[in-house]
Structure 1
Amino acid sequence: MKLEKLDFFQPFLVVVAILVFLAMGYVGSFNYRFEDPLKAEVILTILFSCLIFTAGIIAVKRKVSVEKTKELNFLSEKLLLILVIVALILQTLNMVFLGGIPLFNSVLKSNATTNIWRIAYPLFLIMMNLLLAKYYDKKYLLLVVLGALIFGLNGYRTSVLGILGSSFITLYYLKKISRKLGIVFIAIIFIGLLGVGYIASQSIANQHWTLNPIELVFYRAAFTLEVFEKIIPLGGTTHGHILSMIFSSGSPRTFIGNYVLHYDVCLTSTLFGPVYLDFGLIGLTIQMLFMGAFLQLVHKLKKGIGVGIYSIIMTHTLIWIETGPTDIMIWFLYLLGLILIIINHNYIRLNKNQYN
């Protein structure tokens, strides 16, 4: 297959990203945190998850076809542009009400995910990608960079990656990524992630980091995988409590910190940690099968606004590899994919021959 015909952002990318993250964590476990490397049980569980995810992809790839997709004509360029600007204004007001810039203050950062932010971030993310997908114009790339900057000031790398990563994938499928623009975009994403992560770590009270920005990335991967390592013996012992917290109230990540490490801290526990703690290996199997099949189906609908929606879901699935699916706001982005499927259900066909 020629390189230019290869679909770099198909769902199989998630498997590649998981393996890269595992390798980084394994290296980090030697160099920056542990006396012993990650246990074989962790590695085997993650490899098993990748196989199940792949099975979900293959099942949909072979058995489902899409004739065409439906456009939503009420989403005018003017409406989408107005909503993007409204989102930027809301996030700016959020920082005004907080009284400072959370990126430089760990206390402000802990309170930065307010209800205003919960509206502003998904609003910007969704409308920006739909605007690019439906009415691409080079000048809108300035809004992408501005959004990454303003939301990046909240101190969370995931916001920067969510905005820049999804926009990059949208532009890729629109065939608007030249080699020069691609290099610039990837450089901005890389520098943005390193910068936000490093600055935020330096602003944490009572912590003094000696790692450089690159070392910090390997350390975070190792630490997150260590959390999952400690979760495995506790698999299925929370009986769905984390899932119920996601769709009600409370902080799932803080609960995991208390339950697993026995101290009050907000923890990331990988894509696999929360569901494994709640439902064990059976729950993990169901989650990975669903994600593989769902992503592949949305990938088949990536035309028109479907491009923007797929880009958002793919990007945040990649983010979940470290953080875990513990935020109801991000599950809302998966709901967008479900809406896309429902809108286009008349065009989705089940192939009688599974090898089509």
Structure 2
Amino acid sequence: MKLEKIDFFSPPIVVVAILAFLIMGYIGSFNYRFEDPLNPEVILTILFSCLIFAVGTIAIKYKIQIEDVKEIDFLSENILLILVSIALVLQILNLVLIGGIPLFNSVLKSNATTNIWRIAYPLFLIMINILLAKYYDKKYLLLVVLGALIFGLNGYRTSVLGILGSTFITIYYLDKISKKLGIIFVAVIAIVIMAIGYIASQSIATQHWTLNPLELVFYRAAFTLEVFEKIIPLGASTHGHVLSLIFSSGSPRTFIGEHVLHYTVCLTSTLFGPVYLDFGLIGLTIQMLVMGIFLELIYKLKKGIGVGIYSIIVTHTLIWIETGPTDIMIWFLYLLGLILIAINFNYIWFLYLLGLILIAINFNYIKLNKN
């Protein structure tokens, strides 16, 4: 197969990224503070998850063919530019109200994800990708860089990766980027992400890191997979509580830290950890199958603003490989994909089903709190 014919960002990229993360974590578990390499059960569980995800994508790929994607045409170029600008202003206001730059202060970083940020980040992410998908112009790439810088001051790598990664995939599918520029762009993303992670780690007063930026990447992968290793014996022990916290005002990552390590710490637990802790192997199987089906459906709808929506969703799915699907704000981005599917397939019952699921989750959360 010729290199030019390979679609590098089709749904199978998730499997490739999972395997790469697993390899990095396995290497990291040997080289740093871990006494033993990853348990074979962790490796087999992750390989099983990749297989189930692939089954989902293949089933949809050959069973459903879409010839005419419905174009959604209600956002003008000026409106999109205004909304992008509003998002940037909101994030600047957020930094002012916080009282400093969280990237250089771990205390400020812990309070950086305010309600203003929760509005500003998804607004910018969605509108900049739709703007590029519908009205591509090279000058709009300056807005991408500006957004990455402003949101990067929060000190979270995922925000920067979400912006740079999704916009890169958007312009990739618009065929507006050469191979040379693409390689440079990917290299810049990697360097920026490592730099933010390293700077943020050095700003934590209670920790003293001796690892360089590249070593820190392998260490983080190993540590996150070690957390998943500790989750496996506890499979299905929380009975949906993590899921209920995602769709409420709780902190699922902190709860996972308390439940798994027995002290208060905010943990990333891989794409597989939260669902495994809640529902065990059965839950993990369902999650990976649904994700495979869902991503393949959105991939088939990547036309017009669908390009931007697919880019956002696949980027954050890749981010979830480390962090885990524990952010309600990112699930909102998945909702955009669900709406796109409903419009194109006339499956309006998808939306009703989603509503019922959210009601059930919140009812379960209230019930757990009463008990």
TM-score range, shorter chain: over 0.9
Q: What CA RMSD, in Å, does the superposition of the two structures yield over aligned residues?
A: 0.9
For 2:91 and 2:218, the matched residues in 1 are separated by 30
Q: Displacement, 1:74? A: 1.4
Letter in 2 for 1:159: S
Per the alignment, in what secondary structure is the counterpart of residue 210 of structure 1? coil
The 5-angstrom pairing of residues 161-310 of structure 1 reads 161-310=161-310
Instruction: Tell me the amino acid that sits aligned with residue 327 of structure 1.
Output: D
In 1, Cα distance between the equivalents of 2:239 and 2:281?
13
Query: In the alignment, residue 104 of structure 2 is paired with which amino acid?
Result: F
Q: Does 1:141 align with 2:162?
A: no
TM-superposed CA distance for 1:342, in Å, is 1.3
Please say which of residues 121-130 and 336-345 is displaced more in the overlay: 336-345
- Matched residue, 2:12: 12
Query: Residue 76 of structure 2 corresponds to which residue in structure 1?
Result: 76
Which residue does the alignment assign to 2:335?
335
- State the shift of 1:345 in Å: 1.5
Which residue pairs with 2:21 in the alignment?
21
TM-score (norm 2): 0.93
Give the C-alpha shift of residue 179 in structure 1.
Answer: 2.3
Distance 1:82 1:5 in 2: 37
Code of the residue aligned with 2:281 in structure 1: it is L
Deviation at 1:187, TM superposition (A): 2.1
* Aligned 8 A contact 1:29 1:37 in 2: yes
Q: Hey, what's the Cα distance between the residues in 2 that align with 1:126 and 1:283?
A: 29
Deviation at 1:114, TM superposition (A): 0.2
CA distance in 2, matches of 1:82, 1:151: 18
Task: Report the Cα offset of residue 184 of structure 1.
Answer: 2.6
CA distance in 1, matches of 2:180, 2:77: 27
**What is the CA–CA distance in structure 2 between the aligned matches of 1:55 and 1:121, rounded to whole Å?**
33
Aligned residue for 1:114? Answer: 114
The TM-score normalised by the length of structure 1 is 0.96
Tell me the equivalent position of 1:319.
319
The superposition leaves residues 28-77 of structure 1 with CA deviations (integer Å, 9 ceiling, x where unpaired) of 00001211100000000000000000000000001011112122221100
State the SS of the aligned residue for 1:326.
coil
Q: Which amino acid aligns with 2:183?
A: I
Offset from partner CA, 1:310-354 (integer Å, 9 cap, x none): 00000000000000000000001110100111121159xxxxxxx
Shift of 1:160: 0.6
State the SS of the aligned residue for 1:154: coil
Structure 2 match to 1:66: 66
Summarize deviations over 1:11-40 as a string: whole Å, max 9, x none.
Answer: 000000000000000000000121110000
Cα shift at 1:183: 2.5
Residue type of the partner of 2:92?
T
| Separation of aligned partners in 1, 2:74 and 2:283 | 39
Deviations 1:142-176 (A, max 9, x none): 00011000000000000010000000000000001
Q: Which runs of 5+ in 2 are unaligned?
A: 348-371
2:51 and 2:115 mapped to 1: Cα distance?
Answer: 38
Which structure 1 segments of 5+ residues have no match? 348-356
Q: Which amino acid aligns with 2:203?
A: S
Corresponding residue SS for 1:237: coil
Give the structure 2 partner of residue 353 of structure 1.
none
- Counterparts of 2:256 and 2:68, CA distance in 1: 43
SS at match of 1:266: coil
Aligned equivalents of 1:151, 1:242: Cα separation in 2: 27
Residue 56 (structure 1) aligns with:
56
Distance in 1 separating the partners of 2:325 and 2:309 = 18
1:33–1:222 CA contact under 8 A, matched in 2: no
Tell whether the 8 Å contact from 1:88 to 1:147 is kept in structure 2 after alignment: yes
List per-residue Cα deviations over 1:288-312 (Å, max 9, x = no partner). Answer: 0000000000000001110000000
Percent of aligned pairs with the same residue? 82
Counterpart CA distance in 2 for 1:233 and 1:329 is: 29
